[in-house]
Structure 1
Amino acid sequence: MRVLSIQSSVSYGHVGNSAAVFPLQRLGIEVMPVFTVCFSNHTGYGSWRGPMLTGDDVREIVTGIEERGGLDGVDVVLSGYQGGDDIGDAILDAVARVKRRSPDAIYACDPVLGNAKSGCHVAPEVQDLIRDRVVPRADLITPNQFELGFITGTSPDTLDSTLEAVDRARELGPSTVLVTSVERPDRPDGTIEMLAAAGEEAWIVQTPHLPFTVNGSGDVTAALFSAHFARTGDAADALARTASSVFELLENTLAAESRELRLVESQEAYARPSMRFEPRRLR
């Protein structure tokens, strides 16, 4: 299996490609990372060093990969945070190139826009890019509940309204949707859920809600689910494997009192997930 992953890179810590590549490699997947930034650390620290790449830089790198035959046999194109519309255009160009050579490839997009607490934290032009041009081209998207609402112009909160928003998102283009954080008011205290819909089926999985947030966990979630789903086409299995792996990663990070994901220390969770959380079929 081969993945072209176009995301940010940091030297210290784990976000973007620095979060997604290693777990995929532990699954035995050949990953071709293309960086959109090369920063010292993620921007959550308030300061960082290093360059941003341009859309032309990304195109040049993808062109070089194509010249080596590297776009043949790609199974997944994975993208995350898009810092500008020029990067978005370059990603869409890469998707088109891959699909010309590998027509069955899946474009899996994590439509990073923001969250319910802080709202949108990307520029207006990026909001428009993701909603109007990127999502319709994607085969699989992995929004959180807030991002799902933004994309669809809805306010999902209950399970029914979240399912309705998922269906609306699928009408825009993606055939598969993973909602990475479902916080419905009637869920048991101390829990959080993920919901996946593909074909005629929808599934939800519930895990304990750990009392912290850490940068990069969404990048790992999107990468693992996309890879598992591309391999099997089984949304329930992909959901179960992803939930188990990510929960163990977060447990290890919390136990270590670390601000950064314990990504390497948790590697067995990706290769051999415990399958401790069983999805429930919604339809």
Structure 2
Amino acid sequence: MKILSIQSAVAYGHVGNSAAVFPLQRIGVEVLPVYTVNFSNHTGYGAWRGPLISPDDVREVILGIEERGAFPEIDVVLSGYQGGEGIADVILDTVQRVKQANPSAVYSCDPVMGNAKSGCFVAPAIPILLRDRVVPAADIITPNQFELGFLTDTQPDTLETTLASVELIRATGPRTVLVTSVERPDAPDETIEMLAVDDSGAWIVRTPHIPMKANGSGDVTAALFTAHYRGTGDLAYALARTTSSVFELLERTHASGQRELQLVESQEAYASPRMQFDVTRVA
């Protein structure tokens, strides 16, 4: 499998491509990383250095990849955080050209815009752009529950309302939806869930909630889920394996006392996860 991953990159820590590439490589996926920023560290520190890469420069890198004849071999285009409005045009154009070269290729979009605790942390135009143009062009999307609510103008806070919101967004284009950070009042305390839906049905998985802010964990989740799902077509398996891998990563990171993901130290969790969580069919 080959994945063209268009995301941010940092030198210190693990977010964007700096979080997604190594876990994908560790499970045997060939990754073609294209950077949209090249920062010293993620912006959660409040200070960082390095360039925001212009859409024209990102387009040039992708054009060079196309000129090497790689597009027919690409199985997935993956995108995450979009720092500026112009990157969306580059991504959408790339998806179209990759699919022309390989009609079986899919586009997986992580529509990063914020979370329930922090609200939106992207430029005001980005959520609207994602909702109106980018998400409808995707085959797979991986929003958290907060982002799903914005995309559908709903307030998903129970299993029933979350499933209804998923069906609303599936009607706009993406047929496969992974909802991360699902919280609902009837779930046991100190737990968190993920919900996955495609044409075959809906599955949910519950894990203990690890009390930490883990920048980049969503990027790892989107990458691993996309690869496992694209490779097997088995939604329940992709959900179960991704959940176990990411939980082990977060567990190790929390135990380390470090702020940044222990990405390399957790590599066996991607290659050979313990598969410790059961998934349950809900629809």
Structure 1 length normalisation: TM-score? 0.99
Q: Which residue of 1 aligns with 2:165?
A: 165
Q: Which residue of 2 aligns with 1:82?
A: 82
CA distance in 2 between counterparts of 1:46 and 1:213 reads 15
Using the TM superposition, give the Cα deviation of residue 273 of structure 1 relative to its aligned residue in structure 2, in angstroms.
1.0
Q: Which amino acid aligns with 1:79?
A: S
Coordinate RMSD, CA, aligned? 0.6
Using the TM superposition, give the Cα deviation of residue 72 of structure 1 relative to its aligned residue in structure 2, in angstroms.
1.5
Secondary structure in 2 matching 1:240: helix
Q: Which residue of 2 aligns with 1:116?
A: 116
Q: Which residue of 2 aligns with 1:43?
A: 43
1:87-133 Cα deviation digits (max 9, x unpaired): 11111111111111111111000000111122112122211110000
| 237-246 vs 85-94, which moves further | 85-94
Q: Which residue of 1 aligns with 2:281?
A: 281
Secondary structure in 2 matching 1:193: strand
Secondary structure in 2 matching 1:275: coil
Q: Which amino acid aligns with 1:173?
A: G
| 99-108 vs 13-22, which moves further | 99-108
Using the TM superposition, give the Cα deviation of residue 245 of structure 1 relative to its aligned residue in structure 2, in angstroms.
0.1
CA distance in 1 between counterparts of 2:167 and 2:213 reads 28
| 138-147 vs 70-79, which moves further | 70-79
User: Is residue 191 from structure 1 mapped to residue 198 from structure 2 by the alignment?
Assistant: no
Q: Which residue of 2 aligns with 1:24?
A: 24
Secondary structure in 1 matching 2:130: helix
Write the mapping of 1:233-248 to structure 2, written as runs, cut at 5 A.
233-248=233-248
Q: Which amino acid aligns with 2:96?
A: A
Q: Which residue of 2 aligns with 1:127?
A: 127
Secondary structure in 2 matching 1:203: strand
Using the TM superposition, give the Cα deviation of residue 240 of structure 1 relative to its aligned residue in structure 2, in angstroms.
0.2
CA distance in 2 between counterparts of 1:189 and 1:122 reads 30
Q: Which residue of 2 aligns with 1:71?
A: 71
* Sequence identity (%): 69
Q: Which residue of 1 aligns with 2:9?
A: 9
1:194-231 Cα deviation digits (max 9, x unpaired): 00001131000000000111100000000000000000
Runs of 4+ in 1 over 6 A off after TM superposition: none
CA distance in 2 between counterparts of 1:80 and 1:68 reads 24
1:209-268 Cα deviation digits (max 9, x unpaired): 001111000000000000000001111000000000000000000010010000000000
Secondary structure in 1 matching 2:40: strand
Aligned length: 283
Q: Which residue of 2 aligns with 1:227?
A: 227
Q: Which amino acid aligns with 1:165?
A: S
Using the TM superposition, give the Cα deviation of residue 71 of structure 1 relative to its aligned residue in structure 2, in angstroms.
1.2
Q: Which residue of 2 aligns with 1:201?
A: 201
CA distance in 1 between counterparts of 2:97 and 2:195 reads 31
Instruction: Give unmatched runs, 5+ long, in structure 1.
Output: none
CA distance in 1 between counterparts of 2:104 and 2:213 reads 35
Q: Which residue of 1 aligns with 2:104?
A: 104
Write the mapping of 1:54-69 to structure 2, written as runs, cut at 5 A.
54-69=54-69
Q: Which residue of 2 aligns with 1:33?
A: 33
Q: Which residue of 2 aligns with 1:211?
A: 211
Secondary structure in 2 matching 1:274: coil
CA distance in 1 between counterparts of 2:262 and 2:113 reads 25
CA distance in 1 between counterparts of 2:124 and 2:51 reads 22
Q: Which amino acid aligns with 1:210?
A: I
Using the TM superposition, give the Cα deviation of residue 85 of structure 1 relative to its aligned residue in structure 2, in angstroms.
1.1
Using the TM superposition, give the Cα deviation of residue 21 of structure 1 relative to its aligned residue in structure 2, in angstroms.
0.1
Secondary structure in 1 matching 2:132: helix
1:24-82 Cα deviation digits (max 9, x unpaired): 00011100000000000000111111001111111100100000011122111100000
